[in-house]
Amino acid sequence: MPELMRAGRMVGVNDMRCEETPIPTIEAGQILVKTRMASICGSDLHVVCHGAGIRFDMPCKHGYPGHEGIGEVVASNHAGVAVGTEVLCFPNASNSEGFSEYQRMDGKYVLPLPDGEVAPEHLLMAQQLGTIIYAARQRPVDVVGKTVLVIGQGSAGLFWTYWLKRSGAATVIAADLSDARLAVSDSYGADVTVNVGEVELDEVIAELTTDGADYVVEAVGRRETLFQSIELVRPDGDLLWFGLPDTDDSVQISFAKFFRKRLTASSTYGAQDEGDAVSFQAALDLIAGRHIDVSPLLSHIYPVEEIQTAFRVANDPVPAGALKVSVSF
């Protein structure tokens, strides 16, 4: 094993660099994974590009905040994880090192990749899909025969579109600014797609429903769309605020409208610490079993040396037609 590795490092807001640094050593219970690929999560964008939720002083530790990855275990101090195992990595984002060529983590934060013909890069998408499955199980809403709205069609929103249609929703409305993403929404089960840069979403909801969608999932994580979700759900309806806000400041909502509409709103956190990682395993099984085609999500892959470009494209995906941006090693 070499002494040095390549790693992305956040040295300032909107400033990610690739540096060489010593390969970390592991402690009891930890494993060391040689990273094959890591994906950029929406929460990573809020940390790196907006400075929201940063857990370290600048410059941050190498690899942070990457927490979606696949790779091979090259050292193990965890009895349940053998050296040589190809794994899906899902460490807690607050202490993650996923944008490093070698990343250490507790052995409970990996699952072996299933054998089969599905490419490992496709199985990487199980991390994001697993968080959707976890949220749906933690905050269950009966959507059978209902009209649902998913705001945002990045990887999280696309997986919500897929999951809600699979769960029996009669009409799934998918909204985004990107035609490239909305094209995939169609194949993931969306009945109606709305480019909100061209059409007013509230007008579409008014045309398709009597008084709003039965269930609204906000999968963007912006102040504007969190506020908007209350406007678009019907009285006595349900909201899931899935997207992490892009600010550490308080987010304004119309509580008077929330109150008078008798709404129920939920959020979730902590899929990584679910017992036996059952939601991530379910996601791996769905992808490995070819129940969902995640190949469109591998739209933009950059070498780690170009990690700043990767973040720039992920933060402004529409011009490049990006769906999911990943970094390879």
Residues of the chain with CATH 3.40.50.720: 140-266
The whole-number average pLDDT for the span 315-325 is: 95
- Token pair for 109: 């934060």
Residues of the chain with CATH 3.90.180.10: 4-127+277-328
pLDDT of 248 reads 84
Cβ pair 248, 227 in contact under 8 A: no
Task: Identify the band that residue 245 occupies on the pLDDT scale cut at 50, 70 and 90.
Answer: confident
d(CA 124, CA 121): 5
Cβ pair 157, 150 in contact under 8 A: yes
d(CA 114, CA 98): 21
- Token pair for 48: 């790196």
- Residue 304: strand, helix, or coil: helix
The per-residue DSSP string of 49-115 comes to HH--S--SPSSPPTTTT---EEEEEEEE--TT--TT-EEEE---GGG--TTBSEEEEEGGGEEEPPP
Residue 246, pLDDT > 90, answer: no
Residue whose pair of structure tokens reads 């840069």 in the numeric block: 197
Mean pLDDT of the chain: 96
Residue 252, pLDDT > 90, answer: no
Instruction: Please name the CATH architecture into which domain 4-127+277-328 falls.
Output: Alpha-Beta Complex (3.90)
Residue with the larger pLDDT of the pair 224 and 100: 100
User: Where in 180-299 does DSSP place strands (E)?
Assistant: 192-195, 213-218, 233-241, 264-266
d(CA 322, CA 318): 6
Q: What is the pLDDT of residues 139-185, one digit of tens each?
A: 999 999 999 999 999 999 999 999 999 999 999 999 999 999 999 99
Cβ pair 26, 32 in contact under 8 A: yes
CA-wise closest residue to 270 among 135, 176, 167: 135
Residues 6+ apart with CB under 8 A from 213: 147, 148, 149, 173, 205, 232, 233, 234, 237
Residue 320 CB neighbour total at 10 angstroms:
15
- Residue 221: strand, helix, or coil: coil
pLDDT of 240 reads 98
Q: What is the pLDDT of residues 188-221, one digit of tens each?
A: 999 999 999 999 999 999 999 999 999 999 999 8
Residue 55, pLDDT > 90, answer: no
Distance between start and end Cα atoms, the chain? 15
Fold of 140-266: Rossmann fold (3.40.50)
